[in-house]
Every structure is written in C-alpha cells, then in structure tokens.
Amino acid sequence: MKHLLTILATFTIGSSTLSNVSAASFKTSSSNNNSNSELDTNGSKNDNNANSDEQSSKNGSEGTANSIPEFVPEKEKEPTIPQDKRTNLFEIIKETSYYNFKNVDENILLDTVLKKYPELKNEVEIKDFKMPDEEKQTNGSAIINAKDDSLKYKGKVYIYFSIDQYKNYNFNLDKYEETMRVGEQRTFKVTNFSSEWRNEDYPNNFEYNKDYFIVSFKKNIDSIVVTAKDKKIPPKFNCLEITVNSNIPRLNNKKTIKITLNAQKVDFQLETEKINILAQNGSKTDIGIINFDDLIDESNYVKKVEVSDETYLSANIDKNKRYISILANNNYIDKVIEVLVYSNDFIHKIKVTLICPPRKAKLNTNVIDINVNSEGFIKITNFNELYVEDNMPNVQSISDTNALSAELDKASQSIKIRTNNKPVEKVIIKIKSKNVQEVQEITVNVKGVAKDFSLESNEITLDYKQTKTIKVKNYDELYGLDINYPTLFKYNNKFIDVRFNSIAKSIEITAKTTEATNQTLEVSSKMGHKEVVSFTVRIPDIGFKLDNKNITMEYKETKRIKVTNLDEIYNADKNKPNQFLGYDNNAIDVIYDNKTNEIVITAKEKEVINGKITVQSVSGHIDEINYSVSIPNVEFKLEEKLISIDYYKETRLKVINLDQIYRVEKNLPKIFDYDNSVLKLSYDSSSNEIVIKAKNKEVNNGSFIVRSQSGFSKTINYSVSIPNVPFKLETNSVSLGVEQEKRIKITNHNDLYGAAKNFPTSQGLKYNKNVLDVSYDSKNFEIVIKTKKQEASGQIIVESDNHTEYINYNVTVQRVDFELDTNNVSLDVYKEARIKILNKDKLYSYSDKNLPLKYSGYNTDEINVSYDRNLNEIVIKAKGLKTQNKKLIISSQNGTQKTVTYNINVPRVDFDLGNVSNMSVGSSQSIDVKNWYSLLHSDNYPLSFSYSKNGIVSAKYDQYSHKIIIDSLSNNAFCRNFKLTVKSVNGTFKELVFDVVKQQDLNSTTKNLDYLNDLESNTIKEAFFNKNSEYGLDMNDFKGFGVKDITENSAIIYANDDITRRWFYGEAKVNYLSPKVVNYDIDTGWSELSYSNRNADNKEVKISVSNGKFDMSYDEFMNTYKSMEISYSIYYKYTSEYTGKWENNIKEEKREDKSITLDIKNYSNLKLVDEIDKTFIDDGDKDVVLFNFYMSSSFIKGSTSWWAIPTKDEYSFEFRATVHTDRPTASFFSANKVAALVGMKLNYIKFKR
C-alpha cells in the first residue's frame, strides 16, 4: 500500500524565485482523444505532466512555491483508438515559468516560448491568456496548445509568468557639506544602500568642475568618493558644488554636495618655542611666524591662541597674522605655562618660564609683647607676592635664645615666635631674605602672668577614716609661683582634714568617723582663684553575721535568728538583713525585727524538707538559711455505707475526720487499688469524697483498697448489676449491588446499657460466605454487609446472648457508565490509537454489562475497532485513507453511549539529501533524495527552493529519478558560498552551500594597487583584494594567493591553494608605489664636556646629510611622497659634583631610540624634535641640565637655465644635539660642579605616501 501511495503522490515540481512573486502551482488536463497520460513501466497509470519540470529563467528572482499541484488520478480505460505516435507537448516544453517581463501580451509570451523551443513554430497556439493579479499575489498564466492540424504534437502545457515589480530607490547621503584641501580625498556614505538595488539606482551620475575634482561611486564601500586634484592654489571662490543623481536620472533623486576647497596644507613655523619672561606688568615678548609668505592662503594662517593659565599670562595674534604677542601680568608661579597656537589643522606649543623679581617682606609690626610659654606671630602682609624661596625672610639671629625661639611659618604666613618660661624685656630678632640683603629687626617683650590652678575633680566620696587625693592638673603650668598654688581651704572639720602636698602635686583629704552628705570644701590660691569640691563621708559596706543558718520547725512553729556583729557593721540599716528571697511562702513567713535585730521565721501548714532562704542587705551582702517544716501522720476515717451500684451509676464515700488529719495531702485517701474494667475511682478535693463509678460489667462480691501517702489503708466491698434487653434492627430486608456495602443500625442501642450480653456479636452472625461478608461494628452499633462478585439472594441470622433477628438480602450487578480518557483521536495512516477506560476498576469487568463492547457509526474502510480485555482499552487501527472529523459511537449492554471524533493524518517525514558539490558556470548537478521511498506523500517532497542570490542557478525536483536538479543560469553568473535553501510543505528545510565558479584569468584583474605602506606579502594581498573585491571572494580567500618576485614597485601574484586555483588561472604582475628607505647609521659621538659652577655653559654636536638623490624627478617625488619617518637614537649622561671622573658621581646615563614623522617640506630653521630636562636640586642649589635635539631639511628642485650653472634635484638634512648646564643659585663659595655630555645617531629616513 505504501508503494502505491508513493507512486500516486510522486510528480516533479521545480521552482525558482522572483522579486515579490511566488512560483505557481499547476494542474495537467487530458481528454479521450489527446491524452497526456501513459502507462509507466510497471503498468500503472501515472500523470506525466510536462509542468513538473518547472524551473527559473535567467532573469529569475527569489520566490517560494506556495501551493502543491492537485493530483487527480484517472480511472483506467481500455484504448479505443489506434496508437497515437504524436509527441506530447510536455515532453518538449520543460521550462514553464517566465519571470520579470517589462511588458507582456499574448504575442510576446508566445514568442518567448518559441525562442526557447523553435521546433514548435507553426505547431502551437496560445489560449486563456491571463495577466497577474497583484491584489491576490498570483502569477499570470496561459495555455500552449498543439494545433488541431498538427501532425507532430498533441496535448497542452500550462505556462506561468510574472511582470517585473521592481521599485526604484532614492539614495540618501550621510552628509552634504564638507571642507577639504587640494590633494585630499573624502567619502560620502549612501546611508540607505541595499544589495537589492539595481544599477539604475546607483548614485553614479555626477556634474562638477573637473579641473578640481575626480568623483566616483564605489559599490564595495557603499560610498561616493571625492578626490580633490593636487593644485597648489584653490579657486578664488572656494565653495564648489557637485550634483549627484542616479544612473538613470530622476528629478526627485537629485542631490547637491557643497565642498569648501582650501589650499594644500602648510604648517606655520615659529621663531622659537621656548621663552623666559619677567613676571610683572609691562613684560612682553613677540614671536614671529617665519614662513608666513609660504602659507598660501588663510586656511593655513594662525587662527587662535590659548594660554594654559591666564592668571599669569595673556597672548594674542597681530592683525596681519605675522607674529604672536605674549604678555605677563604681576602674578608669578614656578611652573612652565603653555601657550597653544592653532591653525585649522595644526598646533604649535610655546613653553613660557616666568622669572620672579626681588621683593622685600612687609611686617604688620616690629614690636610685640608675648606671655611666657606662649606663641606670637608677626604677619607678613605681602607673603603671597613674594612667590619664591629667595624672597622669603629667614631668621638670622636672636639676642636671647633662652627666652624664645623664632622661625618663618609659611602656613600662617608669619614669623612665628615661641617663648619659654622666662620673663625678659627687649629680645631682638633679626631677619632678611637671599634676594633682599636689607636686615629687619623685631623687638619682643616676654611677660610673666598669674594663672588659675585646675583640679582633676570637683567631687569626692570617702569612707570612714579613708584618705584620698585630688590632683592639680596644671601644676607644671603655674610657673612655680606660690600665689598660683591651691594652699587655702575652708571646710567643716567635723567631717574631714585637708592639706596641700606640693611633692605629690595634689590636695590630700582624710575622712573622720561622722557621716556626711552634700558637704563642700572651698580651695583657693593667694592670687584669688577659687574652686569648690563636693564631698561625702559614708559608712563602709560590711556584711552581717547570723548566729544560726540551719533550723528545723514543726507545723505552725516560730523561730528567731540573731545578727551577731552589730557594732562591726556600725548598726547601720544598709548593712542589716533587709530582703528575703527563694523560700516557699505557702510553707513559712519571714520578717526582720528591727527592735531585737532578729530574723523571725514562722511555719505554716505545709511540709518542706530542704528549703532555703536567701538573705540580703541594702549594701549588697548575701547569706543563706536552710530550713525544714514537718506535719504528723494521722489515719483517715470514712463514713460507713453499703456499696451496691447499678450499671453506669455513681456513689460517694465521705472523709469524716478532716480536722484531725490537718487536711494535708499526705493524710488524705487518694491512692486506689481496684479492677478498672468494672469501676472508675477518683477523689473529689472540693468535697473531700471518694467518687465510685460503675462500668458495663456485672460483679456480685467485689472489693477495692483506699490508701493515703502517710501509709494508712481501708478495704471497701461493692456489687454492680445490669438488666437483659433485646436489640432492634432498623430493617430486616436489603437489596445490594455487587462489591457494595450496606449497614443496618441497632435502633435501641442507647437502651441496652452498653452491656455486651444485650448486643449482637460477629460470632453470632450466620450467612453464605461465598456471597457475603458480614460483621458487627460495635463502635457505630451497625451490622455491616459487604457483597462479593456474585449475584444471589438469601438470609442472614443475627444473635445476642438473649435475642435473635433475621435479615433477607438480594445481590445484583449495578449499572456503571464507562468513562473515556478522550473524545478525540488523531493518528497516522496504518497506525493505531488506544482509548483508555478511566474508571475500568469500577465497571465490574468480570461481567460484560458495563464494558464498551459495541461500535457503530464509523467507516470500516477507514478504521478497525476492537476491545483489549487485558489492558481494558479500545483499540482503533487506521487504514490507508486520510480523513478528518469522522464519528465513532461506542456503547455498553447497560445503555451507556459515547461519541469519539477521529482524524487520520499523513505523517511528516523529513527528506534526507545527498552531498552537494561546487559547480562551474553553465553546468548542472543532481543531488540524491536518499530516503525518497519513505516520504509517502507530496507534503514531504523537497519542492520549494530559495536562493541567497538571484540569477545564479535554478533548482527543481525530478520524481522519476528522485533527485534535485540544479542548473547554472548563465556562463557569466558566478558566486562564492552560494546558499540554496530546500523546503517541503511540512516544514523540513536544508541549506546547501556551494560555489558556482567562473574561472578568471588573473591577468584580466585590476593590477594597479596604488600606494603600499610596506612590501609584506599580506599587505600586497590585501591591496589586491581591495581592488578586486567584485569577484565575490573575501579577504580570507585572497590569502590563498602566492606572491613572488617582490620588488620596490611590482610583484607577481598567482593562485596558490585550492580556492584560488578554482577561481583563477595564470599570473598577474601588480604595480604599486612603496615607501623609500634611505639607511644612514651615522653617529655624532659624545659632545665636548659641558660643565658649570655658577656660569651657564653650552655644547653641541651635529650630523649633516647632503646631496641626497631622488630616483625620480623632483615633481614626481613631491607628488608621490607626503611624509617622512626619521629614525634616530639619542644618548646623554650627567653628574653632580663633577671631579673629573664620571664613575665617581654619575647621576644618570641613558640611550633611547626615537622616531618622528613629519610632512615633507623645507624646515629651513632648526626644528626642535626632542627636549629632556634633567634639572635637579643639590644641597639647596638648583643644578640646570638641559638636552635638546633639532633637525632641519631642504628639498631643492634643480635648474637647467641657460643663464645659470645647472643644478640637480637633491635633498639635505642636518641633525643637532645640544647640552646646557648652569647653577644659577650657587653661592660664590660653592665648589661643586655639574657636568653633562650628549650624542646623537641617525638610523634611517623613510619617505612615505
């Protein structure tokens, strides 16, 4: 059956894609006289529609099949006419889809088909021509019919076509204005560019002044590239316009780019980049622009100046732009201030060092009075204007150094004076600065002063006869003056004695034996200072002692315990027993008798064996007393009474001698020895009675024993009786279902006294045990009847000790409706589904009455239905027909009926493809569908195709060979990593990646690579890629090229791996420009020694390179190379305290490799390229060490004038290293020297683009 489905469902559908159009489905028609159907080799009918080979035309664009051809098999008929030898049209017309017509009608479409199949000319006609419906998004269609009189052909073929729906796009640029110089290049990004655009929309249509620009559109970077020609002078009106439109111009797509074109960049040069200037108003330095006449136009002029700190300097440009003026104000700072000079795209930095003028310190006074051991300050009113250390006043001498010291205090901007503990008049301090030799004098008067003493504390507490001290906190600050000491006292000598102890630097206070609170002591000095001390004299905390700590008492007895050390505790209440804790206040009372100074303990009516009393005083002393209380044992007596009790009744016995037994627990009859199955005994403490309750058990001569804790007991005799009562049932007849339970109540159970003899028992039940289980539930007073799995009727006998009842019963299988786990079933063809019975355990499946065993209402050609008794499941097995929403009725014998909806589906099977290969343009390849035999249905066939790029290949599925056929559409359409996506209706998709290769001659590629920064192989490959990216390979692919025969201006590129050999053949000689490197390796060696004690010294060394030759003309060289990279090395060393031997005092020696890149031009004045400042401070003196490195260059165009000596094109350089040493602050007597050496080496010069 599966093979039959495969044959019926198999047909070929190819598809191609187009912009906004979907590939169409088709239907093949036939007639009795001109049939398109023939017998296959197996003898079965097969619809061999020519439209099954649908494929894309060369102009095709992306699309996806959105419908599946309807296949209607014809009933087999016996041939009624002789065999027809004419060829069916579908065997000739294989291409049935034509896309992207600009204009189309019946004649154009027919001509298109006949161009493809010229053998059909005059043999066919076109019918049923229909234009595409844009609203429904369907393609156009027509029928190609064999003419009635054709002797060669028969039948018809459906043709599908589409009209080009391409929409034009207007471009947008990222900017529409730009400023640039001659010789420069700018890009203008097309911000909305898309790979979907056609060439007609590219912004590649330009109008502009070709004297100044070259303009082009570069698709690989989505940008318009504007190159300004290298003219020395720009146009007078330098705002130029470039008009841009698409390749096919449109009025609404016209854009204008405005460009301000400036002259070639020339950097201005200053006379110097370092100056010193005096930091006072009126100081000014002008710095000229030495190459002003070479700046061509205002775009290279100085535009602005900025000062890094305008607190100290200002700067401006003269109106003619020829020099910079730098002006100082009256502020000074010891740091280099930078002046930045700007043109449009160049900056120079001028370093300015301020020189501070000499200034005299101004004092706010020259005479000051200061107390001993104090500080005073003479304010320097112009401190912030002195700026430098050499202007600061320093103390030269003090006439009495025992009286004071003095120093410059920068934090307070003062002369700080600190006095000692010595009063003295007219101490002279002399001050002066390094820069100002004039000496200034300060007169200081040191004054002695009275001072208040200060006590460590103003409160004190003493015990009787105790001595304590209060320290004088500032004793050492009282200047040793007796008048400042606390020697005078005023107090009540009834409580304390007081004296001053100068050795201990404190006041001594001794308490007497009188208690005192809130008392004061006045402490005074002779100079009148007074402080008040509050004092307290208190009794000390002492613990009490007891004469007895262990007492034994009897019921209601009182005992006393004496305090034995009243004198020792000063008979003070705080030291006497005051509080009693931890005892049982139900057993004793405890108080303290203040008259007799005794603890009084009185026993109550409770026994205590090991009691404790915690005794405390207010002062915190704690002691313990052990005590015990005892009560005598006395026998209890009960009333005389005959105990005869009815079932579940109660009686009581009274205790008649409560007072004699002290009413205490141990003497009460609360312990019982009795039969708890007959009685329940308890003691009622509220009424002091024994409570006796009977249970449901008869006893004639019973007894129990009553006891007390004190050991006395009594035996009590008793009897219990119960009456006979017959039980009654609520019914004597029942009907039940199988496996059911029924309960019959004892209706008079409350009247049976709870006696076992009056109730039925399980042993008293007689019944048929094959049918029933019967038991008695004594808890609920019920007869419990449980049926088994059998229908029956009969009688149950129920007996108690004194009565018998009969119950008639009838057992049947009850109706239960079966329940299904689903009412909807979905299954694949030839598969089965099962419906579970949710309540199968409740259907009494040993009987068929409730089981779902009847089935109706369904099509037996679609399914079979049965019941699986082992699993209790309904089994539905699908046959080979696909169907939806059909009904199945399921019933049982008892009348239950359920309806189930079932659906039969074709299963999804994912197709499995063979491997795809790279292919050449103009060729075809086929890919096996490896599991075609199991796909079963057209929903699983690989029928839909989409492409990563349109116009490269077309694809279709051939049901006869079970292969996907891929055809190249053009000998000129190629693609690297082309992606073909194959899909089926059921959602399976596979992506095939392969190359569609057109092998190119390397010699036909773009070989001019312009300028290269270096001659590395990868650099050449990258430049080659940038020039030839249109071939679709990425940079990683281009890395597979080999490069050989590399010279300064050319190299050979050849294919060197599988990828590059696949795409290219032959070799390409590429041309380029590269940096020109001139190696020198010239060294100056060390300079002469520059050294200084106090005077400045300068030394220098230099390298000169002349008569440098160009390997091209001057003009070519200057147009080709724009910058030069100069590699050089510098070295230097310097020392402090130079003695003629470097190894003794060398401070630093260093060598560094350097590189600088400059524009190629004449630097006629020496240009500073490096500066190193190693200035340091040595023993307070400033040692200046400066190393500077300069260069100059000259590029000369030769002359061949008849009136002058001919000269050649040449260039020259000079490099100079200088060293400057100085010790500007060294004194005349300084013998130290600073020394330094410098050198420089030229490595190479590289001329670059």
Token pair 């270096």 is at which residue? Answer: 1014
Find out whether 227 and 185 touch, Cβ atoms under 8 Å.
Answer: yes
The listed range with the strongest mean pLDDT (63-67, 456-460, 907-911) is 456-460
* 694 φψ region: left (φ > 0), alpha (ψ -120 to 50), beta (else): beta
Of the pLDDT bands very low, low, confident and very high (cuts 50, 70, 90), residue 55 is very low
Give me the pLDDT at residue 480, please: 67
- Report the alpha-carbon angle 349-354-360, nearest 5: 170
Domain 274-355's class? mainly beta
Element (DSSP H or E) covering residue 6: helix 2-9
Structure confidence at residue 1034 (pLDDT)? 83
Comparing CA positions, the residue from 146, 46, 42, 134 lying closest to residue 93 is 146
Cα angle, residue 347 at apex, residues 342 and 351 outer, rounded to 5°: 100
pLDDT for residue 785 is more than 90: yes
Residue 51 has pLDDT above 60, yes or no: no
User: Per-residue pLDDT for 12 more than 60?
Assistant: no
Question: Domain map of the chain by residue range?
Answer: 2-166+924-991, 177-262, 274-355, 367-447, 460-538, 550-630, 643-721, 733-812, 824-905, 1000-1073, 1076-1248
Q: Residue 684: pLDDT band by 50, 70, 90 thresholds?
A: very high
Token match 């003295």: residue? 424
The pLDDT of residue 190? 94
CATH topology of domain 733-812: Immunoglobulin-like (2.60.40)
**DSSP assignments along 1026-1045, one per residue:** HHSGGGS--HHHHTTEEEES
Higher pLDDT residue, 776 or 49? 776
Nearest to 1005 by CA among 1057, 1049, 968, 1060: 1060
- Split at pLDDT 50, 70, 90, the class of 391 is confident
Write the CATH number of the domain with boundaries 824-905: 2.60.40.3440
Q: How far from 1212 is each of 69, 1110, 1124, 1209, CA to CA, in Å?
A: 85, 11, 13, 11
Contact 136, 120 (CB under 8 A): no
Tell me what pLDDT residue 990 has: 93
> In this model, does residue 72 exceed pLDDT 50?
no
CB of 364 closer than 8 Å to CB of 399? no
Q: Quote the distance between the C-alpha of residue 1219 and its chain's center.
A: 57
Confidence of residue 1204 (pLDDT cuts 50, 70, 90): low
Query: Which of the four CATH numbers 3.40.50.360, 2.60.40.60, 3.30.1330.20, 3.40.50.920 does domain 643-721 have?
Result: 2.60.40.60
* Neighbouring-strand partners of residue 1177: 1182
Q: What is the pLDDT of residues 443-466, one digit of tens each?
A: 999 876 778 899 999 999 998 888
User: Rounded to whole angstroms, how far apart are CA atoms 878 and 826?
Assistant: 10
Rounded mean pLDDT of 203-231?
90
Q: To the nearest whole percent, how much of the chain has pLDDT over 70?
A: 91
For residue 1024, pLDDT beyond 70: yes
Q: What are phi and psi of 47, to 5 degrees?
A: -80, 105
Residue 320 has pLDDT above 50, yes or no: yes
Count Cβ atoms below 10 Å from residue 1015 Cβ, excluding itself: 16
- Distance CA(716)–CA(703), nearest Å, equals 5
Instruction: Give percent above pLDDT 90 in the chain.
Output: 42
Q: For residue range 1089-1133, what is the model confidence (pLDDT) as tens digits?
A: 888 887 888 999 998 888 788 777 888 888 888 888 999 999 999
Predicted confidence at residue 27, as pLDDT, reads: 33
Using alpha carbons only, how large is the chain's radius of gyration in Å? 63
Please state, in angstroms and as integers, the Cα–Cα distance from residue 1173 to each residue in 336, 349, 1086, 1176, following that order.
12, 16, 18, 9
pLDDT in tens, 566-600: 888 888 888 899 999 999 998 899 999 999 999 99
Topology of 550-630 in CATH? Immunoglobulin-like (2.60.40)
pLDDT exceeds 80 at position 1002: yes
Q: Which residues contact 1189 (CB under 8 A, 6 or more apart)?
A: 1128, 1130, 1168, 1169, 1170, 1171, 1215, 1216, 1217, 1218, 1240
Side-chain half-sphere of 1166: how many Cα atoms within 13 Å? 14
For the segment 159-187, what is each residue's pLDDT rounded down to a tens digit?
988 887 767 889 999 999 999 888 889 99
pLDDT of 1160 higher than 50: yes
Q: CA-CA distance, 228 to 180, in Å (whole number)?
A: 8
Q: Where are the beta strands (DSSP E) in 959-1096?
A: 963-968, 975-983, 989-997, 1000-1001, 1008-1011, 1041-1044, 1050-1055, 1064-1065, 1067-1073, 1076-1083, 1090-1092
Residue type, 175: K
Structure tokens at 214: 């070259």
CA dihedral over 204, 208, 210, 212, signed as positive or negative: negative
DSSP 282-331: T-EEEEEBTTGGGS-SGGGS--EEEES-TTTEEEEE-TTSSEEEEEE-S-
pLDDT in tens, 848-885: 888 999 999 999 989 999 999 888 899 999 987 889 99
Mean pLDDT for 927-948 is: 88
User: 1173: pLDDT confidence band, cut at 50, 70 and 90?
Assistant: very high
Average predicted confidence (pLDDT) for the chain: 85
* Amino acid at the residue 318: D
Q: Which fold has domain 177-262?
A: Immunoglobulin-like (2.60.40)
Q: Which residue has the higher pLDDT, 935 or 1043?
A: 1043
Query: Does position 678 have pLDDT exceeding 90, yes or no?
Result: no
Tokens matching residue 781: 């007073």
Q: Which long-range contacts (CB under 8 A, 24 or more apart) does 112-119 make?
A: 113/144, 113/159, 117/92, 117/93, 119/92
* pTM of this structure: 0.33
Are 597 and 567 contacting, i.e. CB atoms less than 8 angstroms apart?
no
Q: Residue 137: what pLDDT?
A: 62
Contact between 795 and 872 (Cβ < 8 Å): no
pLDDT tens-digit profile of 606-630? 888 899 999 999 888 999 999 998 8
CATH among 1.10.357.10, 3.40.50.720, 3.90.79.10, 2.60.40.3440 for 460-538: 2.60.40.3440
Give CATH for domain 367-447.
2.60.40.1080
Per-residue pLDDT reduced to its tens digit, 500-534: 998 999 999 999 888 888 999 999 988 889 999 99
CA dist 837 and 359 (Å) reads: 115
Q: Locate tokens 């009790």: which residue?
A: 645
- What pLDDT was estimated at residue 136? 67
**Residue 68 banded pLDDT, cuts 50, 70, 90:** very low
Nearest to 136 by CA among 196, 67, 51: 67
367-447 with 460-538: one CATH topology?
Answer: yes
pLDDT band at residue 758 using 50, 70 and 90 as cut-offs:
confident
Comparing 636 with 25, which gets the higher pLDDT? Answer: 636
